[in-house]
A and B are shown apart, each in its own frame.
Chain A
Amino acid sequence: MKQHIDDTNETTFRSTFDMNAEKRHQKDLGLKIPENYFSQSKAGILAMTTGQSQEVIPLYKRKITWISMAATVALLLTLAIYNPFTKNTVVEEDVLIASLFTEEESVDDFVDDFVNDELLTEEVFTE
């Protein structure tokens, strides 16, 4: 089926197009829409498509960056050191699991830095 569109705003794209759709839906079904809804909706859809993409990427599809890796390790270490309700064995397992997703070298570097900066410094101050 070939349909013709006008390149201007005037269009006869489809012969069955009902210009009174809104009135009909309101009259028969009692459905109404917010004022200027379609112009606002169009702007929103264009922003999500032709403009900047605001698509939400599921967590499982996201790439693991060094920031998220470091944040994960830092969180696990913090919990291991400061959380009195968590057994160390459990946290060690978590660290082990987290380390499987990161470069071994970067984990070692991070742990060394953390121990040097935080724990040793703290010990020096408390002496």
Chain B
Amino acid sequence: MINEAEFIEQLTSKRYRDRAFSKLLDLYQERLYWHIRKIVVTHDNANDVLQNTFLRVYKSLPNFKQQSSLHTWMYKIAYNESIRFLESQKKRTHSAIDEVSERYLGSLVDDVFFDGDEAQLKLQKILSELPEKQRQVFHMKYYDNLKFREISDVLEIKEGTIKTHYYGAVKYIEEHINTVGYIERIKA
């Protein structure tokens, strides 16, 4: 067993770096993929952003100051890469990030890696109607199991505001969806 500081030391040492980075991928690849996928929606886009995220992580590790946990730091990079991707789409199409996100949602049904039924599509639509920050907070809290404190670090927003975003999202979803079991789970 090694602690995080020792693991980071391995990640930044020439001798152990490659092996430690492989371990880092085992630990975080899947979690970061789902985090990214919920922002950029389609699998192909998520795949691109995931690669960019780990490239940036690899390059930035020597400069990691350990002011936050490795976990939070990587989520922050993944989030920033996802937003950067959406902004590049925004520049290309001259539309707002929310509009880009909604447009992707529109194309979700054409994605071969989406096989949602009517209820799942309805939930996706409701989530897409949330303001961007509310949606991201809801995803990070409910699906990624991040703590409010960690979401606050990733988004650089006060913890109280994060809670307001989350409960605002839950309320909106509650008012607009009647999928059996979902409301009970998000309120749990």
Contact = CB atoms under 8 A, between A and B. Distances in A.
B1 A3 contact: no
Q: Of A17, A22, A28, A55, which is in contact with the most chain B CB atoms at under 10 Å from its CB?
A: A28
Given A3-B69, A21-B30, A31-B114, A44 B4 contact: no
Contacts of A45: 25, 29, 50-51, 54-55
A118 B77 CA distance: 56
A49 B47 contact: no
Contacts of A34: 43, 113
Given A5-B7, A9-B26, A48-B55, A28 B113 contact: no
A7 B1 CA distance: 6
A97 B24 CA distance: 49
A50 interface: yes
A16 B28 CA distance: 13
Contacts of B143: 21, 24-25, 28
* Chief secondary structure at chain B's binding surface: helix
Contacts of B182: 28
B90 interface: no
B116 A30 contact: yes
A36 interface: no
Contacts of B18: 46, 50
Interface in A2-51: 2-7, 9, 11, 13-14, 16-18, 21-22, 24-26, 28-34, 37-38, 41-42, 44-46, 48-50
A104 to B, nearest CB: 39
Contacts of B104: none
A21 B144 CA distance: 8
B120 A28 contact: yes
B117 interface: yes
Interface residues of A, number: 37
A50 B145 contact: no
B114 to A, nearest CB: 5
Contacts of A41: 29, 33, 47, 50-51
B3 A4 contact: yes
B21 interface: yes
B2 interface: yes
Contacts of B5: 2
A2 B3 contact: yes
Contacts of B9: none
Interface string B34-78: 100110000100010011001100100000000001110000000
Interface of A: 1-7, 9, 11, 13-14, 16-18, 21-22, 24-26, 28-34, 37-38, 41-42, 44-46, 48-50, 55
7 contacts: A5-B23, A5-B27, A16-B147, A25-B143, A28-B182, A49-B54, A49-B58
Given A1-B69, A49-B55, 6 more contacts: A3-B69, A3-B71, A7-B1, A28-B123, A31-B116, A49-B21
